[in-house]
A and B are shown apart, each in its own frame.
Chain A
């Protein structure tokens, strides 16, 4: 049973436009959410996170939105750059700082120059 779902395996966006990556979860006990970015042949790198007490968190070009009632979060990248082309994973934990992360299956983002 996939508790964290990324229903779009791939996404293509024109350079300079907004990229929106979506993630849904089923476990209402998830309390802390993270986005990781992964380039080929490298390990995932942390991008941005959000606690369930917030509905938005920004860091430069990256913004994560959380809709707890819909059990949905999204990552917005504005403006999209060629270096953003990567696989993006969302992850969730039962509490902030909990050591167990549940990952989604990933979305491959391609930025078209």
Chain B
């Protein structure tokens, strides 16, 4: 049971390039999400999904796209990278019950630098 995995661990992009951060979980969790962590700002929610085929925006969605075609995978796409997107990105997942979702399990993070 690998939990939540993220690839790559590190990435350097030039301004304007696009890329996809990968996230996968093997716990059959319905809920998945993406956060970014910046110095002095805690974690901020980018996008989330409550199940395959369903996604929604979080607090800071601009410049990012997501899709959820399977329960296991939740990739985050940067359409045209900007220096302001330099950050550490965390993917998380949790299982649900009839009243909502339990605490989230986080992946190890992807450190992205945009030059």
* A and B co-occur in one complex: yes
Please, how many angstroms separate the alpha-carbon atoms of A4 and B44 in the complex? 12
**B19 within 8 Å of A (CB atoms):** no
**Chain A at the B interface: SS class:** loop
Closest to A49 in B: B103
Are A89 and B106 in touch, CB under 8 angstroms?
no
Q: If A44-B43, A105-B40 touch, does A97 touch B99 (CB 8 Å cutoff)? A: yes
Are A42 and B109 in touch, CB under 8 angstroms?
yes
Count residues of chain B with CB under 8 A from any CB of chain A. Answer: 29
| Shortest Cβ distance from residue B79 to the other chain A in the assembled complex, whole angstroms | 23
Q: If A43-B4, A43-B90 touch, does A97 touch B45 (CB 8 Å cutoff)? A: no
Q: Which residues of A contact B40 (CB under 8 A)?
A: 105
Q: Which residues of A contact B75 (CB under 8 A)?
A: none
Are A99 and B43 in touch, CB under 8 angstroms?
no
In the complex, which residues 4-63 of chain A have their Cβ closer than 8 Å to any Cβ of chain B? 4, 34, 36, 41-46, 49
Closest to A44 in B: B106
**A101 within 8 Å of B (CB atoms):** yes
| Shortest Cβ distance from residue B9 to the other chain A in the assembled complex, whole angstroms | 9
Are A99 and B100 in touch, CB under 8 angstroms?
yes
Most buried by B among A49, A89, A97, A106: A97
Please, how many angstroms separate the alpha-carbon atoms of A49 and B103 in the complex? 8
Q: Which residues of B contact A96 (CB under 8 A)?
A: 99-100
Q: Which residues of B contact A105 (CB under 8 A)?
A: 40-42
**A95 within 8 Å of B (CB atoms):** yes
> Chain B 9-33, CB within 8 Å of chain A: the 1/0 string?
0000000000000000000000101
| Shortest Cβ distance from residue A12 to the other chain B in the assembled complex, whole angstroms | 19
Give 16 pairs: A residue, B residue, CB < 8 Å, sorted on A: A34-B103, A43-B90, A43-B107, A45-B105, A96-B100, A97-B97, A97-B99, A97-B100, A99-B31, A99-B48, A99-B100, A99-B101, A100-B48, A101-B45, A103-B43, A105-B42
